[in-house]
């Protein structure tokens, strides 16, 4: 007995039908992703204009976005606190091969990429 998976992204887009082999592959990949992600817990890394670039940015905020990214691992969240974040340590950022990293700012956060 063959099974089909039908994915519908929106009412305006036609349905996609995946063959049995692709459906099996899709289920396997999803299951592996769930198993792999089950033990992973995202760490919140904090950046604040009055922080210090020391430690892991989780227990106390660090100063620069680049330092927080360097401390983060795949799946972590880097959160910028309110205020204006500027200077060379907040631009030309390298993610260092981290596959999934969330960078977000709270209300009142400004990232100034022009001024020192």
Longest dimension (CA), the chain: 65
Q: What pLDDT, in 10s, does the model give residues 5-32?
A: 333 334 444 333 444 444 445 555 444 4
**Residue 98 pLDDT > 80:** no
Which of 25-29, 57-61, 102-106 ranks highest by mean pLDDT? Answer: 57-61
Which pLDDT belongs to residue 65?
92
Residue for token digits 């089950």? 38
Sequence-distant (6+) residues with CB within 8 A of 101 are 69, 72, 74, 75, 76, 77, 78, 95
What integer best gives the mean pLDDT of the chain?
74
The DSSP H or E segment spanning 22 is: helix 20-38
Spatial CB neighbours of 33, under 8 Å, sequence gap ≥ 6: none
Question: With 50 as the cut, is the pLDDT of residue 54 above it?
Answer: yes
d(CA 102, CA 22): 30
Would you say the C-alpha torsion 89, 92, 65, 45 has a positive or negative sign? negative
Domain boundaries, the chain: 5-38, 44-112
Statement: residue 76 has pLDDT above 60: yes
Q: What is the pLDDT of residue 32?
A: 47
């Amino acid at each position: 007995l063959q099974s089909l998976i039908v994915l519908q992204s929106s009412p305006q887009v036609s349905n996609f039908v995946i063959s049995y082999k692709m459906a099996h592959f899709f289920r396997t990949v999803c299951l592996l992703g769930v198993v792999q992600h089950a033990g992973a817990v995202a760490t919140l890394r904090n950046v604040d204009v009055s922080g210090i670039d020391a430690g892991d940015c989780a227990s106390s905020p660090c100063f620069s976005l680049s330092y927080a990214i360097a401390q983060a691992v795949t799946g972590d969240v880097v959160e910028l606190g309110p205020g204006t974040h500027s200077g060379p340590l907040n631009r030309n950022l390298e993610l260092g091969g981290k596959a999934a990293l969330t960078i977000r700012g709270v209300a009142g956060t400004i990232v100034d990429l022009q001024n020192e």
